[in-house]
Structure 1
Amino acid sequence: MAICLCTRRSRLTSRSDRPAWYDAILPVIDLRFGQVVRGVAGRRDEYLPIESRYCGDSRPGSIAHVYAADFGFQDCYVADLNAILDGQLDVAALEAIAVQGLSVWLDAGIGSVSQWQACQALLRDWAPYRWVVGLESLESWQALAELCLHISPERLVFSLDMKAGVPLTVREDFQQISPEQIARHAAELGITSMILLDLAAVGQGKGSQTQHLIQSLKEELPGVQLLGGGGMNWPDDIQSLAQCGAARVLVASALHDGRIAPHLG
Structure 2
Amino acid sequence: MQLIPVLDVRDGIVVRGVAGERSRYQPVTSRLTTSARPLEVARSLRDTFDTRALYVADLDGLEHSQPDRDLHRTLSADGFELLLDSGVRGPDDAVVALESGAKNIVIPLETWTSADALGSLVARAGADRLVFSLDLKAGRPLSGAGDWDGMTAEAIARDVVAAGLRSLIVLDLAGVGVDGGVPTLPLCRAIRSKFPDVQVITGGGVRGRGDLQALAAAGIDGVLVASALHNGRVTPEDVAAVQAQSSAE
TM more than 0.5: yes
Residue aligning to 1:103 = 81
2:55 is aligned with 1:77: yes
1:113 aligns with 2:96: no
> Residue deviations 1:231-263, cap 9 Å, x none?
001011011112112100110000000111233
Residue 88 of structure 1: SS of its match in structure 2? coil
1:211 positional shift: 0.7
1:53 aligns to 2:17 (yes or no)? no
The one-letter amino acid paired with 1:236 is G
For the 8 Å contact 1:64–1:100, the answer to whether it is kept is no
Partner Cα distance (2:95, 2:223) in 1 = 28
Any idea what the Cα deviations from partners look like across 1:145-184, whole Å, max 9, x if unmatched? 1111122222110000000000012124111110000001
Equivalent in the alignment of 2:244: none
Alignment of 1:1-40 (within 5 A): 24-40=2-18
Which 4+ runs in 1 deviate beyond 6 A?
none
**Aligned-partner Cα distance in 2 for 1:173–1:179:** 13
Aligned counterpart, 2:67:
89
Which SS does the other structure have where 2:200 is aligned? strand
SS in 2 for 1:228: strand
Structure 2 Cα separation of the partners of residues 108 and 230 of structure 1: 18
Structure 2 unaligned blocks of 5 or more: 241-249
Cα distance in 2, alignment partners of residues 251 and 92 from structure 1: 24
Question: Residues 218 and 119 (structure 1 numbering): CA distance in 2 closer, same or farther, change over 3 Å?
Answer: closer
Q: What residue number does 2:20 align with?
A: 42
Question: What is the DSSP-based 3-state SS (H/G/I as helix, E as strand, rest coil) of the residue aligned with 2:236?
Answer: coil
Map of 2:131 onto structure 1: 157
Q: RMSD of the TM alignment (CA)?
A: 1.5
Structure 1, unaligned runs of 5 or more: 1-22
Q: Note the C-alpha offset of 1:117.
A: 3.0
Among 160, 174, 186, the residue aligned to 2:160:
186
CA contact (8 A) 2:98 2:105 kept: no
Aligned residue number for residue 9 of structure 1? none
C-alpha separation in 1, matches of 2:194 and 2:88? 27
Percent of paired sites with the same residue? 38
Can you list the C-alpha shifts for 1:45-91, whole angstroms capped at 9, x where unaligned? Answer: 01111001110110000011112112101211111010111111112
- Tell me the CA shift for residue 120 of structure 1: 4.7
Listed as ranges, the matches of 1:169-184 within 5 Å are: 169-184=143-158
